[in-house]
Structure 1
Amino acid sequence: MPENFENSLSFAQQQDKNDPLRHFRNEFHIPVIDNQQVIYYTGNSLGLQPKRTRSYIEKEMKDWEMFGVEGHFNPKKENIWYHYHEYGKQALASVLGAKPIEVVPMNNLTVNLHLLMVSFYRPTKQRYKLIVEAGAFPSDQYVFETQLKWHANHWDQQLFDPEEALIELSPREGENTLRTEDILKAIEDNGDDLALVLLGGVQYYTGQLFDMQAITKTTHQVGALAGFDLAHAAGNIDLKLHDWDVDFATWCSYKYLNSGPGNVSGVFVNERFANKPDLIRFAGWWGHDEGERFKMEKGFKPMQGADGWQLSNGNIIATAAHLASLSIFEETNMEALRSKSKLLTGYLEFLIKEINKEEEIFEIITPQHHKERGCQLSLFTLKYGKDLFDQLVKRGVVGDWREPDVIRLAPVPLYNTFEEQFRFSEILRDSIKTLKA
């Protein structure tokens, strides 16, 4: 597919015809409003439902009906519940660029972020500082704040005052995104005091993709650890967590991984920590050595790898929906999805800039280079603001409004099309005309 884009319906339709991933759209339910499919741009908040999800859930419902508690162990079941957390490991590993031993689905993202910080934010009087991003997603900010308060109860109160311990990185004045060079310099400048760098993989507001490999390398060079919140990166970016030597990460599965509202999260723990039973963690029985789990004895012995961070037995019904979506990812790969994503997002950017030539209405605050973004464009509205967003909603565009003046659009390669990008540009142009009249 070419990058010399054209502002025409025929061009968009030809790109869809040439798209080797076009059949995946038929795997999803596209919402319908007023008898017409919407243009869905909020996969960065909640991915669409795979058509196969219902059958995955109904299978476990039927097994619950037939077997009751024996569904955990009955060999007549295809997927016995006792090992249910294992079934998505290979697919997850492929999506995250990890080894199966390094990943496991469990809990929700914020719970996992707390659990991982218990293990990997181990401050001392010398190394106690935490580098994060100013304006991180609110849950992450609350995690940082309360983790510091928890440590303050055991150490010097003043040392763990956020003003002292928390280093929040902001873009330069007049800029919307962080420069990689500034992130790396902050790590180097605070190297002697630094315990942990914890950033998002993709910034939720601007859509900026951080250079996780460079960040991790520099962090390790100064003797600290590197972790990432991959809520907006998992299923969006071609990740290589193992090769980049990332220490830990967590994500949610309901955005680009399409596993349902509020569904199960997951964790990555580098293989370097697979056999370190003395590593401090908050434990639960599902993280205990499964060979001894039902002895019901004291003395926690963690499972090898990421499994050793589990707390409770998994939510089978919810995880069934997760497995349904992961099965789609097993039919392709992140390299192919990323290749289409670059073109799809690039085409949307091209069409918006064409409208801007007629009247400057938008500033795209997402980085322009595809190496610095995923499948999201954040549009700062210089004119019309929320009224324009409301016009788009009336015309069947499901986007996302973020205060004070930003419209987020996420064209997802699994189910969005090039023709939709052209149709959106026409709707956008017509909405502007309506507001000007």
Structure 2
Amino acid sequence: MPVLLPSFAADLDAADPLAAFRQEFHIPPGPNGQPSVYLCGNSLGLQPQSARAAVEQEFEAWEQLGVEGHFHGEAPWLHYHETLAAPSARLVGARPLEVVVMNNLTVNLHLLLVTFYRPTAQRYKILMEGGAFPSDQYALESQARLHGLDPAEVIVELMPRPGEHTLRTADIEATIQELGDSLATIIIGGVNYYTGQAFDLAAITRAGHAVGALVGFDLAHAAGNLEMHLHDWDVDFACWCSYKYLNSGPGGTSGVFVHERFAHRPDLLRLAGWWGHDPTDRFQMKKGFRPMPGAAGWQLSNAQIFPMAIHRASLELVDRAGGMAALRRKSEQLTGYLETLIQELGLPSSQLEIITPADPAQRGCQLSVLVHQRGRELFDYLARQGIIADWREPNVIRLAPVPLYNSFQDVARTGAALRQFYHS
């Protein structure tokens, strides 16, 4: 069959307009010396070739300018974070006023929840997806306790129907309607880390607003993966990390979105810091916090220059590649090709089962494979073949072909390894 032939993948790579971007990244070597097949970008993205020079530029500024680097040099640090606003806005479908890069993901989630989870005697419940990444679970539990509430009574978890692995949008909407005016805040992952399901953020936002709830999203697995339109979808708030699909290094800085309808609301309760104060008199060191307009008003501290330098270099790659629309087109092709190769194995679902939705609109560039038999053995075998995937207990292997640096031949190598494991 043509899809199984190495020439088929080579032809796809030859026709791929984004193929050259693979050369912009450091690909880890495999056990036999050739480049590995790196399918773990949903956990940590690869290092851009430009990252080292971007950070070195700031080391040079620090060396030569010292504190004056805040005001002089190629990219003065005082305004460094502002250079990330426009590319970050393009990334998530927002306006520059609505985004800021700062801190790390869970810190930002807590900062946003201080503002956007304000429970009352009637409206106090939080809705999230069951099986969300533990950081989100812990954050929401602690936020409930900060208000003197019992997380077990506050947090409502969305669970799939019996026998299914993913959530139906209709069931999410029905739960929102059922909770009605008891629902204060919705906080759902844009893409579920375990199943790879991409949620209909626009539909969830509409349903939440219809009952008077505030709606936010943890986009850790969606930013740099999905094409989004947060402003047009009327999302209230969101945050994301930069070290997965945005390739900005381990522990990389985080992004925040706050819809512009909140941009000029100094009355909104928030945890305040000096860097979020109105810059026109920030250096007068007066009492009385007056927030900057927009998402920047949620800042606490001055910019993390070195991680932001890497992030800036990575965002430049996304723009050069044509933005999320171009990346998404290739992503659907890569994931569709991988899905076909797995199906061609002809294995029963009792042995190996893709639990990520088959509809491309309901998934990013990740396929989660539930391996009912010999799961760890398969994972270890792939590693010996130079295929770097991700193992999740008890028996799921996550495979994420990333459009910026993965090739169709990477996918073909993965399919060949799976075939050899099961049919040799």
Normalising by structure 1, report the TM-score. Answer: 0.95
Alignment of 1:337 with 2:335, yes or no, is: no
Alignment equivalent of 1:43, drawn from 27, 35, 41: 41
Equivalence for 1:23: 20
Give, in whole Å, the separation in 1 of the partners of 2:362 and 2:417. 28
- CA separation of 1:118 and 1:359: change in aligned 2, threshold 3 A: closer
Match of 2:129?
A: 133
| Maintained 8 Å contact 1:344/1:411 | yes
Find the counterpart in structure 2 of residue 388 from structure 1: 378
1:207 aligns with 2:204: no
Deviations 1:142-167 (A, max 9, x none): 00110000001xxxxxxx22222111
Match of 1:156 in 2: none
Amino acid aligned to 1:353: Q
Corresponding residue SS for 1:71: helix
- Map 1:244-283 to 2 at 5 A: 244-283=233-272
Counterpart check, 1:236 vs 2:225: yes
Structure 2 gaps of 5+ residues are none
Of 75, 79, 82, 1:83 maps to 79
Task: Give the direction of change, closer, same or farther, for the CA distance of 1:204–1:305 in structure 2 (3 Å limit).
Answer: same
Q: What TM-score results when the alignment is normalised by the length of structure 2?
A: 0.98
Partner of 1:308: 297
Identity of aligned residues (%): 58
Query: Aligned partners of 1:144, 1:195: CA distance in 2, in Å?
Result: 12
The one-letter code sitting in structure 2 at the alignment partner of 1:393 is A
| 1:198-222 deviation digits (Å, cap 9, x = unpaired) | 1000000000000000000110011
1:181 aligns with 2:170: yes
Q: What is the aligned partner in structure 2 of residue 157 from structure 1? A: none
Q: Which amino acid aligns with 1:348?
A: L
1:399 aligns with 2:396: no
- Tell me the alpha carbon deviations over residues 234-269 of structure 1, each in whole angstroms, 9 at most, x when there is no partner: 000001000000000000000000000011011000
Residue number among 321, 325, 335 corresponding to 2:314 in the alignment: 325
In the alignment of these two chains, the number of paired residues is 422
| Residue type of the alignment partner of 1:44 | N
Within the candidate set 1, 7, 11, 1:10 is matched to: 7
The alpha carbon displacement at 1:5 in A equals: 7.1
SS for the counterpart of 1:378 is strand
Pairwise CA distance, 1:134? 1.3
Aligned-residue CA RMSD in angstroms? Answer: 1.3
What are the Cα deviations for residues 79-127 of structure 1, in whole angstroms up to 9, with x where unaligned? 1000010011111111100000100110000000000000000111111
Equivalent of residue 345 in structure 2, options 355, 369, 372: 355
The 1:24–1:423 alpha-carbon spacing in structure 2 relative to 1, beyond 3 Å, is same
The equivalent residue for 2:355 is: 365
Q: Distance in 2 between matches of 1:418 and 1:361?
A: 26
Q: What amino acid sits opposite 2:70 in the alignment?
A: H
Moved more, 379-388 or 226-235: 379-388
- Structure 2 residue 134 is matched with structure 1 residue 145: no
In 1, Cα distance between the equivalents of 2:400 and 2:206? 30
Separation in structure 2 between the aligned mates of residue 223 and residue 360 of structure 1, nearest angstrom: 43
- Name stretches of at least 5 consecutive residues in structure 1 with no aligned partner: 153-159
Tell me, in whole angstroms, the C-alpha distance in 2 between the residues paired with 1:294 and 1:263. Answer: 28
CA distance in structure 1 between the partners assigned to 2:354 and 2:313 by the alignment:
35
Residue 424 of structure 1, aligned match among 411, 414, 419: 414
Secondary structure, aligned partner of 1:140: helix
Whether the 8 Å CA contact 1:5–1:347 is kept in 2: the answer is no
Matching of residues 184-199 of structure 1 within 5 Å: 184-199=173-188
CA-to-aligned-CA distance 1:25-84 (integer Å, 9 cap, x gap): 11111001331110000000000000001110000000000000000012xx11100001
Following superposition of structure 1 onto structure 2, how do residues 157-176 of structure 1 map, counting pairs within 5 Å? Answer: 160-176=149-165
Match of 2:53 in 1: 55
- Structure 1 residue ranges (4+ consecutive) displaced by more than 6 angstroms after TM superposition: none
Q: 1:428: how far off?
A: 1.7
* Residue identity matched to 1:54: R
Structure 1: which amino acid aligns with 2:86? Answer: Q
Report the equivalent of 2:367. 377
Q: Distance in 1 between matches of 2:422 and 2:351?
A: 9
How far apart in 1 are the matches of 2:349 and 2:394? 21
What is the distance in 2 between the residues matched to 1:349 and 1:59?
A: 42
CA drift of 1:326 comes to: 0.6
- Per the TM alignment, residue 358 of structure 1 is displaced from its structure 2 partner at its CA by 8.6
Cα distance, 1:433 vs. partner?
Answer: 4.8
Distance 2:267 2:78 in 1: 26
Q: Secondary structure at the match of 1:33?
A: coil
The separation in 2 between residues aligned to 1:370 and 1:269, in whole angstroms, is 28
Deviation at 1:403, TM superposition (A): 0.4
Task: Say whether the 8 Å CA contact 1:253–1:322 is kept in structure 2.
Answer: yes
Aligned to 1:104: 100
Alignment partners' CA distance in 2, 1:334 and 1:433:
38
Asked if the contact 1:356/1:362 (under 8 Å) is kept, the reply is: no
Query: How big is each residue's C-alpha offset from its partner over 1:265-317, in whole Å with a ceiling of 9 and x where there is no partner?
Result: 11000000000001000010000011111111110000110000000001111
